[in-house]
Amino acid sequence: MIAMSTFNLRLPLDIPWSRRCVSDDMIDRRTGDSEAPYRWRSSLAIFDYEPPEEYQNYPGAIISYLKVVCSITGYQENPTEISLKRRGLLSSWRGSAGITDYLNTLEQYYACFGAVLEVSVVPRTSRAPLRQYPYFMDFEPKKRELYQMASETSERQSRSIESLNVTKSAGTTQSLETYDIDMGGGGFSAEGSYAGTGGGFSYTAPNGQWGTKRLNADETMSSRSTDAGQEKRETFSFTTQLSQLYHQLDSYHLGTNRALFFMLPRPNTLETEHTFINGLRNIEGIQEFFLVVARPSDTEEFCIEAYLETGHIGKVPRTETREIPGSEIHASWSDSYQAKPMGDDNETTVYDQTDRYWRVQDVYPGQGYTIKDAVLSSPGYRLRYNYDKPNLVDVHPHISDRQGHFVKVSGKVHSGFANHAVGADRWEEITYPFTVDITLVKTERVQLSNDTLFMTARSLVCCGNDRLKDAARAADGVVYERKLPNLSVIERPGVRGAQSLHNAVQEGIRRSTVDPEHRLSRPVSLSQTDFAAAAFVHYVPEAQHTSVKSVSELPATVQRRFRQLQSSVAVADLLEMPLTGLQEVLDLDDQQALELRSALMGANHTPRSAREVWLSPTQEERLFGSEGEQSS
């Protein structure tokens, strides 16, 4: 009887996944041509499998399995977007040296530094009662903390493959983690002799270790003999493998009809003398999620929605002058004002109001010092007041200007009475000394950046055998952007600097859904974002003094708004305003604000000739003379 029961139990099956839906804009529909879907856009695919009736062991519920596959990549702008038509932009800002740098900013590859995936399942029938809603009984992976640590044996990890088993209950999972090991080791020795004299040396490194190491979540010290085939028959029903990214992961809302997964790159933990930390690690590759769905037996079909947001960092360069540590020195400058009486009667007041200067180049020529601080001190004089000489007052020189290369002291002093009896009062010379304590430092110019976190979104919805193409593409674009705090992360920030940026990105992603000022009401292309507008103002300084009223091809729907604007309003004044600000200040809707921004940057400009696109006005005049002016 026991043997018969064992015979009827099947070995675990590798789940025969069936693709249910996929991001169809990533499908290459034609071969042999030069066109292909975008390389650097994230995509989603959903696979499902429903075990046969013999594995349905939950009364009143049907168990099915889902596998959601995320291809997490960086973000690169679609070159067919209106704002990337190089011809329009180049012709609109002819002669601007920075327009090419701006275009390069838009065309860059922006790595991914964090991702959020939401998966939800709902009945296909609208307005179904809550009791008919499916829910997630289990999912993997659930959590990943710190994923790489340095050790004295220089152990390194290069991948992670998680073996996943489904128990006979068909609703519980077990996982086994595998990762590679590369620990260098070995040794060498040498010796020799000549004319009876010899010597040698030897070196032995720790033993090396290479291969694959498997870590099981359970460990036991007991020893037993088992029939492996029988144990698998009695324990497991299905098995599959998940491909894991090398990152941090948290999951939420198990037991509801939605699952939330928050992914961040593994943090930097240790800095050695042979390496340095240069910012965040990115998080890109294939990440798979296995989900066990339980639905009521009277719910025939259910819809699945997968919504993926990826975080990226855009940088607008800036230059900052910084003090070189340890370069501070101090200098002291002493001078005085003198006022002498004039005239035979010795009673004429003469004022001294000449400015005094102290210059770095005069004292420390060519040494690269600049003035950090200057403090003036003077003893001050109290001139005795006389009723018939009411113009006698306290007078003190003061620092009237201080820049990096000079200090300027100004004052107005006069002669007067001092230390004489009342009957012997007379005008006499008065000296007003002062001292300036000056702090000098050496500085250097550091290239930094103003960083913006922007998030792009991708959604995929599938119900039964239908592909909802509109829903799958509805959220493809930038949906959130927010400036990151100035963390002063320079070329070699070290662990602390990188971790500060890591925390800032994490905070930005977490608060993205509750930040209405920076959350966009509709997805936009990268070229329509506040980040792109700030980059345009930086690279095209002509926008600072180009009047808005001189912009051609303004959308007709917004032209009437400009009647209230003064002619002194520059293009940069409006580009520096966020989209939400443009909408509220100028009373525009979403589409009008986007059209206005594109017009201000010249993205919708139509060139009249190829010369206008590729030649500056100076080049056109040199090549074609007056003919070029007529053609343009």
Are both 563 and 485 inside the same structural domain? no
Give one DSSP letter per residue of 203-234, joined into a string: EEPPPPEEEEEEEES----------HHHHHHH
Are both 374 and 363 inside the same structural domain? yes
Higher pLDDT, 249 or 175: 249
Pairwise CA distance, residues 254 & 6, whole Å: 34
Domain boundary (519, 545, 571) is at: 519
CATH of the domain at 419: 2.60.40
Pairwise CA distance, residues 388 & 390, whole Å: 6
Are both 335 and 263 inside the same structural domain? no
Please, are residues 594 and 524 in contact by the beta-carbon 8 Å criterion? yes
Q: Which two tokens stand for residue 311?
A: 């975080």
Q: Is residue 194 part of a domain?
A: no
Q: Is residue 215 part of a domain?
A: no
Q: Is residue 82 part of a domain?
A: yes
Are both 278 and 401 inside the same structural domain? no
Q: Is residue 177 part of a domain?
A: no
β pairing state of 236-243 and 13-14: parallel
Task: Identify residue 301 by its one-letter amino acid code.
Answer: E
For the segment 413-436, the average pLDDT, to the nearest whole number, is 66
For the segment 550-571, the average pLDDT, to the nearest whole number, is 73
Per-residue pLDDT, 178: 58
CATH of the domain at 105: 2.70.240
Helix (H, G, I), strand (E, B) or coil at 574: helix
Give me the sheet containing 398-402, strands edge to edge: 356-359, 406-410, 398-402
* Of 79, 70, 41, 110, the residue nearest 454 (C-alpha): 110
Helix (H, G, I), strand (E, B) or coil at 5: helix
Q: Is residue 18 part of a domain?
A: yes
Pairwise CA distance, residues 295 & 61, whole Å: 5
Among 183-197, 251-265, 364-378, 487-501, the range scoring the smallest mean pLDDT is 183-197
Q: Is residue 47 part of a domain?
A: yes
Are both 493 and 505 inside the same structural domain? yes
Highest mean pLDDT among 99-103, 192-196, 600-604: 99-103
53-104 pLDDT, tens per residue? 888 888 889 999 999 999 998 898 876 654 555 567 777 787 778 888 888 8
Q: Is residue 224 part of a domain?
A: no
Domain extent for 438: 323-445
β pairing state of 143-144 and 247-252: antiparallel
* Of 156, 155, 174, 178, the residue nearest 165 (C-alpha): 174
**Sign of torsion, CA 296 297 302 305?**
positive
Are both 275 and 343 inside the same structural domain? no
Q: Which two tokens stand for residue 387?
A: 């009723």
Residue corresponding to tokens 């390194």: 156
368-396 pLDDT, tens per residue? 999 999 998 876 554 444 444 444 444 56
How many beta carbons lie within 10 A of that of residue 17, not counting itself?
15
Structural domain total, the chain: 3
Domain boundary (464, 496, 519) is at: 519
Are both 342 and 379 inside the same structural domain? yes
Are both 423 and 459 inside the same structural domain? no
The one-character DSSP state at 415 is: -
Are both 281 and 337 inside the same structural domain? no
Q: Whole-angstrom distance between the N-terminal and C-terminal Cα of the chain?
A: 96
Are both 147 and 13 inside the same structural domain? yes
Are both 283 and 353 inside the same structural domain? no
Per-residue pLDDT, 229: 61
Q: Is residue 202 part of a domain?
A: no
Are both 548 and 614 inside the same structural domain? yes
Give the dihedral of Cα atoms 104, 105, 111, 115; nearest 10 deg.
-140
